Amino acid sequence: MVDKPQAVRQNQNGFDDMAKCGTVEKNMGWKTLTEAEIWCNSAGGLSYFRFFPYPAMSRRSSPLKGIKLDACASIGVAPRVALVPECGRSFYLRAMKRGIVMNSPVISAIQASEDAVILLDQRELPGRVEYLTCTRGEDVIEAIRELAVRGAPAIGIAAAYGLWLFVKRESGSADFWKHVDKAVAALKGSRPTAVNLAWALDMVRDQMAGLTPPEAVETCRNFADMLLAQDIEINRRIGERGASLFESVSSILTHCNTGALATGGYGTALGVIRSLHHAGRLREVLVDETRPLLQGARLTAWELEQEHIPARLITDSMAGAVMAQNMVDGVIVGADRIAVNGDTANKIGTYTLAVLASYHHLPFYIAAPLSTFDPSSHTGADIPIELRAESEVRGFRGAISAPEGFPVYNPAFDVTPAALITAFITEHGVIRPPFAENILGLLAKTP
């Protein structure tokens, strides 16, 4: 942990700032070539902030020099601080002006420059930290489809940025709006189950209606920036509300990856776990490896390791055994789409966990923002389930685990019936049964 700075002052914009760069450098230091951190004042008191530099900068042979500190404000959220290397590219200045450098998302999976969307390539984790620089909307579609970026909230944010790349390129076309609608359709088709993707695209398309092409480009970019900024705050509220459900020190089992990698930052189900850890009420996390692509083993375990949160990895088939041995106090997972009756589509294997939790009389919680609730899906039967390549099950990263050509059934998601769910943890409150009535009621009251 770094020391708290000695001098803090208010800058001319009213945001908190360090008194001078010397104080920053003395108290901050560089933990690695890819990370800087600092203490500063915010509306909520003294807070811990992190900033992850642009990937090209992280490959420098020595720590970056000449850090300067500037304050910025995100759209619709509290003031925050941006650390901006003087030798940085325009990305840093844009991030500072637009307020897209977040307060302590431990991993920054989605960033944007003046001309590109920068995505942490989650296919390479945990072995390598690699970034994709997407300069075309088609690049974002491929990244979503191939799971370089994944997780329902993160997909929605990435899709909004992808649309911005499309409309920016076509802003001089006579058929501008035809290209816009074609791009929206292509982005929606990249992952059909995650409702956040369609929700984000429909919302920004509505905001662009009636504008000139240049105005539409700017509106699309502003919306994507806002979506990224707000997702952090939404996740923190989900984390706080979820942590309040566990009064004593608890062990939590989770599935797939629902952390900063799957969202704008912090996480949904993993955000609850983070909040429990920060409150001192987390004994340990039991992490399902999550077959067939091992998102739990590769991504969730990696995130927890970055923050030194106590955790152990288990195979999916061990879940019943650890519950029977009283090693679990509750199960918290995320969601890709929630029907109005409470039926929930999530990563394959979630339904199995819900059945096991019910048998062992353990609470089974879904942590998700309201944007994951789909008013057009009345029950789970209305949710489309994506079928993925057979090769994902027959092997992994070149290692063959089944006979070549052996038939495979590979749905990416399953649907957990509402009757097996204890409650939904959202940014606006905890939803308990009767779900159909309470979900519709909360959606009706929320703009």
CA distance 340 to 316: 28
Q: Are 8 and 18 in contact (CB under 8 A)?
A: yes
* Upper half-sphere CA count for residue 148 (Cβ side, 13 Å): 23
Tokens of 162: 């992808």
Q: Are 71 and 93 in contact (CB under 8 A)?
A: no
Please identify which of the residues 231, 336, 343, 374 carries the catalytic annotation: 336
Orientation angle between helical segments 176-188 and 195-208, nearest 10 degrees: 170
What is the bridge-based pairing of β-strands 413-416 and 344-347? antiparallel
Assess whether 336 carries a catalytic annotation: yes
The phi, psi pair for 420, rounded to 5°, reads -95, 0
Question: Which residues are annotated as catalytic?
Answer: 336
